[in-house]
Amino acid sequence: MYLFTLCNMASALLTGLFKRLFPAEFSLARPGGVYGKGGARFSLALERCIVLLALSMALCFLISILGGCTSALIAALDAGDPAQMPGGGLGLLRLALVRANLPLALTEALARVPVNVVDRLISVFLGYGAALTLRGLNRNGAVFSNFSR
């Protein structure tokens, strides 16, 4: 389903917005100067962690809402019974929400929240960790040395 590509585009735009709003927290630079000593270094790490948590939650709700609306649109065009839609692990939660007579878009969005919370926490923190690792490798000249010319 190509409609779910909108979720990926929206998450990239939201991540870019967070990077503009919190440039110091998203910086890959090692703390130096004032931030180089004990408690200040911990404070900077905590600030980065809080911003990454906020980004994870914002992405979770954005993707849940967009994914729910997209799935509801697909279900409406397909004209199938919402209770019979396949959903993998989301099936039981979706079924419970459908039986509670919630609107289809809200049902689809709420059913995605638990999975998206875990997914976004993992992807945001691993992505930031991968960026830090690649920065360290690149500084040593082991990675991307051919691209810097």
pLDDT in tens, 111-125: 889 889 999 999 999
The total number of residues shown for the chain amounts to: 149
pTM, two decimals, is: 0.74
Give the C-alpha separation, 91 to 137, whole Å. Answer: 43
pLDDT in tens, 16-32: 998 888 887 777 666 55
Give the C-alpha separation, 120 to 122, whole Å. Answer: 5
Q: What are the residue ranges spanned by the domains of the chain?
A: 2-140
Task: State the residue for tokens 């100067």.
Answer: 33
Give the C-alpha separation, 7 to 13, whole Å. Answer: 10
Query: What pLDDT shows up at residue 84?
Result: 54
Contacts of residue 75, defined as CB under 8 A and 6 or more positions apart, other chains included, come to: 82, 85, 104, 108
